[in-house]
Amino acid sequence: MNKENIIRELNFKGIRSSGAGGQHVNKVSSKIELTFDLENSLSLSENEKILLKTKLSSKLTKENMLVLFCDESRSQHRNKELAIKRFLELLRVNLIRPKKRRPTKPSKSSVRKNIEKKKRNSAKKTLRKKPGLE
């Protein structure tokens, strides 16, 4: 995964931010919409695309487009930087392949120790009981 090539494939769109802000918010498009076409990306291998499609399925549109919004800052440039940073972090986290789990068995000595421990515990509790009338 080459960061520069992926960043070149991103599309940005400025939108007017919602919420309070007075006159400034009504005339400045500071909110950024970042879109990334996962299906037609040249920077990602087929295996990476498949992995991202499965892991990011809830964040993708029907056309396999990833859409991120950022309106934290009043500056469009700052929002663009934040959106790129979030996008790259999202890719980095979701491209990590989890280690395959190897099933293991407890060792014979640990099984033996557990059985002995249970027997001791059982004997201790039987000694606490009141003697029967036999």
- Domains annotated for the chain, with CATH where assigned, are 3-94 (3.30.160.20)
Over residues 2-17, the mean pLDDT reads 84
Over residues 76-98, the mean pLDDT reads 90
pTM, to two decimals: 0.67
Over residues 28-56, the mean pLDDT reads 88
Nearest CA-CA partner of 92 in 42, 33, 48, 37: 48
pLDDT of residue 95 exceeding 90? no
Report pLDDT for 1: 65
**Strand ranges (E), 5-129:** 11-15, 31-37, 65-70
Please, are residues 104 and 85 in contact by the beta-carbon 8 Å criterion?
Answer: no
Report pLDDT for 42: 87
Q: How far apart are CA 22 and CA 57, in angstroms?
A: 37
